[in-house]
């Protein structure tokens, strides 16, 4: 080393390129996503606090809206689980992805050794962890408030299937919006859709409480399909095949649209 070498510690700058092993990259990416999510107060509010408040209020909802026959807590809790899925797989995903596009994060990671599908796997892994947490906390609180789900272990499996399909449908819709609109527009649309589906999307209020004309429309929405599917499941009847088909169609159609329209920066 010559005396003219720059000050500072001895850093070996010689090239030695190479990608980390795929499982390590995926693990790091998912951990990073989770850390960022947990640090973001708005995300925690959206995914946990709002559903919890609505669940507690929902136990007395029959004094505000006519939920139909049965105990309010039994009707409301499956809907709140559906809302939790919506908040994580749609609103939270769309907003985060929109701003990742805006700030060049997707581009930067696109230039790293992480494969592009690895970006998606990181997001899915983070969503799964958050949803497990949401479903555990919300169903725990529901049970504490007197929720009596029917259907036993089979219903739990059916719920998991519906949650996977709902996540796929909402997630693809969220990526479709985030991948085509500007970040601010994504933020507005994702929040607006969340509120609209929460209030009138068949998520929490059973479909048979809606007027006949709008009921058929709501059955075709992923929110109506997931909400009604979960209510039927925990009523012990299992989801109607129609709900399952609707969710699959939304997932496939939006997924195809995403693969054709998604751009890496806005």
Smallest separation, CB 14 to other proteins (Å): 5
Of 216, 212, 119, 127, the residue nearest 166 (C-alpha): 127
3-state secondary structure 86-100: HHHHHHHHHHHHHHH
Cα separation, 149 vs 136, whole angstroms: 14
Applying the rule CB under 8 A, the residues between 73 and 102 that interact with other proteins are: 99-100, 102
Cα separation, 63 vs 171, whole angstroms: 34
Smallest separation, CB 7 to other proteins (Å): 9
Q: Is 264 in the site for other proteins (CB under 8 A)?
A: yes
Select the residue interacting with other proteins from 44, 52, 56, 105 (CB under 8 A): 105
Select the residue interacting with other proteins from 6, 23, 211, 241 (CB under 8 A): 6
Q: Is 110 in the site for other proteins (CB under 8 A)?
A: yes
Q: Is 11 in the site for other proteins (CB under 8 A)?
A: yes
Smallest separation, CB 167 to other proteins (Å): 22
Cα separation, 135 vs 202, whole angstroms: 19
Select the residue interacting with other proteins from 3, 15, 69, 260 (CB under 8 A): 15
| Closer by beta carbon to other proteins, 99 or else 210 | 99
Select the residue interacting with other proteins from 113, 140, 146, 236 (CB under 8 A): 113
Interior angle at CA 178, CA 177 and CA 182, nearest 5: 100
Name the token pair of 76.
């409301």
Matching residue, tokens 């195809």: 256
Cα separation, 246 vs 127, whole angstroms: 21
Applying the rule CB under 8 A, the residues between 21 and 60 that interact with other proteins are: 21, 24-25, 28-29, 32, 35-36, 39-40
| Closer by beta carbon to other proteins, 14 or else 63 | 14
Q: Is 18 in the site for other proteins (CB under 8 A)?
A: yes
Cα separation, 218 vs 212, whole angstroms: 10
Q: Is 17 in the site for other proteins (CB under 8 A)?
A: yes
Do residues 75 and 231 lie in contact, with contact meaning Cβ atoms separated by under 8 Å?
Answer: yes
CA atoms within 13 A on the CB side of 101: 23
Smallest separation, CB 184 to other proteins (Å): 14
User: What residues line the site for other proteins (CB under 8 A)?
Assistant: 5-6, 8-21, 24-25, 28-29, 32, 35-36, 39-40, 99-100, 102-105, 107-108, 110-115, 264
């Amino acid at each position: 080393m010559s005396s003219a070498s720059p000050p500072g510690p001895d850093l070996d700058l010689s090239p030695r390129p190479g990608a980390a092993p795929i499982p390590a990259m995926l693990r790091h990416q998912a951990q990073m996503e989770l850390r960022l999510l947990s640090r973001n107060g708005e995300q925690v509010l959206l995914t946990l606090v709002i559903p919890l408040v609505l669940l507690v209020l929902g136990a007395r909802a029959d004094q505000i809206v006519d939920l139909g026959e049965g105990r309010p807590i039994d009707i409301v809790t499956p809907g709140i689980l559906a809302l939790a899925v919506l908040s994580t797989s749609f609103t939270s995903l769309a907003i985060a992805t929109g701003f990742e596009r805006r700030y060049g994060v997707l581009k930067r990671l696109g230039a790293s050794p992480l494969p592009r599908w690895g970006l998606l796997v990181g997001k899915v892994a983070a969503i799964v962890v958050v949803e497990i947490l949401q479903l555990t906390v919300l169903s725990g609180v529901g049970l504490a408030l007197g929720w009596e789900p029917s259907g036993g272990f089979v219903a739990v499996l059916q719920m998991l299937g519906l949650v996977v399909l709902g996540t796929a449908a909402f997630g693809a819709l969220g990526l479709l919006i985030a991948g085509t609109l500007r970040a601010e527009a994504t933020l507005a649309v994702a929040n607006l859709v969340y509120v609209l589906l929460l209030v009138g999307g068949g998520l929490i209020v059973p479909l048979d409480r809606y007027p006949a004309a709008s009921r058929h429309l709501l059955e075709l929405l992923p929110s109506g399909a997931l909400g009604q599917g979960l209510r039927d499941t925990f009523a012990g009847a299992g989801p109607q095949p129609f709900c399952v088909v609707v969710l699959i169609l939304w997932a496939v159609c939006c997924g195809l649209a995403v693969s054709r329209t998604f751009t890496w920066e806005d």
